[in-house]
Amino acid sequence: ESPEANNNDTEVKEENAEANGANEEAAADAEFTIRAGIGLNNEHPQYKGLEKFKEIVEEETDGAIHVETYHSGQLGDDRTMMEALQLGSQEVTVPSTAPIANFVSDFSIFDFPFLFPNSEVADEVLDGEVGQKFLDKLDDQNLKGLAYWENGFRDLTNSEKEVASVDDFEGLTIRTMENDLHLDAFRAMGANPTPMAFTELFTALQQGTVDGQENPFATIYLEGFYEVQDYVSDTHHIYSPFVFLMSKSFYDTLPEDYQEVVDNAALEAGKYQRELNREANDEYLDSLVEEGMTFTEISDEAREEMRLAIEPVVEEYAAELDQDLVNEVYQAIEDAQK
């Protein structure tokens, strides 16, 4: 719990601390150090959100809590960072819900294809009572869920052909996140999915190990996937929330007023992050086309065909989850649309 015990430096961590302007004095003056790592790069709204979190926390604690930010999987992929939080060797990460489902299976509901009709409904459900129930389930895993941020609606890219309908998925090798529901959903559409950590993805696309992948336009653009992918379709098949996680054993060592600061900072930085993400999403698609990608629009009918192909998978997974919770989520989605 001492600041020293909390600082296990490796080369990359030191380099990055310097790049952050996290000079030794600031770190030495601090009572607590939060090492916050994410998978996406420092251009992404996810990182801007993390910087906002740092700004708020350091200002409101007068530097008593020092936040070091790491991007691009410098501290590992989503799973590795969650495990580090459990062990107490890292304090914060912001993974997608898909890898979280490997720790708390109920989280897989948020990755049901075509669950949320739009991001406003997602906000209302996630930020409401039901969303909190899921965050509470993380406690048993030594993880403290402080807020939902936004990865976004996922869209398909590939290097082989235009994908306009469910038939076009046939035979495509698609990297998915490490989540069984994602794998089964893509199999149901006739694709050949293969699970992989995000940190391996660019190389896999470049070397042709996989034909395609799916992520929001922001990621496709900001991670430079257009350099190794020719086709993009607005499948919008899954809405990926991010969850702002803190190591629970670390959270529990914080005095109550500091707990309040990090609670609020995670929420406030999340609002900012969602705004940035949404502002730029359409622009990112334009930029992908400018970079030479062929854009294929998915019609409502084609999207409905995709939904029908996946429906049995959704029903199978839904049956395995806590039924009360499943119904609460469906009800909350309905209520949010009234």
Q: Angle at Cα 106 formed by Cα 105 and Cα 111, nearest 5°?
A: 95
Number of residues that bind ligand TF8 (CB under 6 A): 12
CB contact set of 190 (below 8 Å; sequence gap of 6+): 166, 167, 169, 170, 171, 309
| CA dist., res. 131 & res. 328, Å (int) | 10
Closer residue to ligand TF8 (CB): 198 or 221: 198
Nearest approach in angstroms of CB 40 to ligand TF8 is 5
Residue with the CB atom nearest ligand TF8 in the bound state: 39
Strands 294-296 and 192-195 come out as unpaired
| Residue 39 interacting with ligand TF8 (CB under 6 A) | yes
| CA dist., res. 265 & res. 121, Å (int) | 23
Q: Which stretch binds ligand TF8 (CB under 6 A): 3-11, 33-41, 103-111, 126-134?
A: 33-41
| Residue 155 interacting with ligand TF8 (CB under 6 A) | no
| CA dist., res. 312 & res. 184, Å (int) | 10
Q: Which stretch binds ligand TF8 (CB under 6 A): 32-40, 103-111, 270-278, 318-326?
A: 32-40
Q: Which stretch binds ligand TF8 (CB under 6 A): 34-42, 60-68, 266-274, 298-306?
A: 34-42
Q: Which residue has the tokens 């086709």?
A: 231
Phi, psi of 41 (to 5 degrees): -85, 180
Q: How many residues does the chain have?
A: 338
CB contact set of 194 (below 8 Å; sequence gap of 6+): 173, 174, 175, 176, 210
Phi, psi of 62 (to 5 degrees): 55, 35
Site for ligand TF8 in 180-239 (CB under 6 A): 198, 215, 219
Site for ligand TF8 in 94-153 (CB under 6 A): 95-96, 151
Closer residue to ligand TF8 (CB): 52 or 71: 71
Nearest approach in angstroms of CB 68 to ligand TF8 is 17
Q: Which of 40, 218, 232, 293 binds ligand TF8 (CB under 6 A)?
A: 40
Nearest approach in angstroms of CB 292 to ligand TF8 is 22
Q: Which of 233, 240, 247, 273 binds ligand TF8 (CB under 6 A)?
A: 240
156 alpha carbon, distance to own chain's centre: 16
Q: Which of 75, 92, 177, 267 binds ligand TF8 (CB under 6 A)?
A: 177
| Residue 78 interacting with ligand TF8 (CB under 6 A) | yes
Q: Which stretch binds ligand TF8 (CB under 6 A): 37-45, 130-138, 252-260, 268-276?
A: 37-45
Q: Which stretch binds ligand TF8 (CB under 6 A): 36-44, 84-92, 247-255, 298-306?
A: 36-44
| Letter string b/e over residues 280-293, b meaning 16 or more CB atoms within 10 A of that residue's CB | bbeebbebbeeeeb
Helix (H, G, I), strand (E, B) or coil at 153: strand
| CA dist., res. 310 & res. 302, Å (int) | 13
Q: Quick one: which of 157, 91, 105, 97 has its CA closest to 122?
A: 97
Q: Which residue has the tokens 């969602």?
A: 274
Nearest approach in angstroms of CB 237 to ligand TF8 is 13
Closer residue to ligand TF8 (CB): 206 or 299: 206
| Residue 16 interacting with ligand TF8 (CB under 6 A) | no
Residue 73 zone, left/alpha/beta (φ > 0; ψ -120 to 50; rest): left
Closer residue to ligand TF8 (CB): 72 or 142: 72
Q: Give the binding site for ligand TF8 (CB under 6 A).
A: 38-40, 78, 95-96, 151, 177, 198, 215, 219, 240
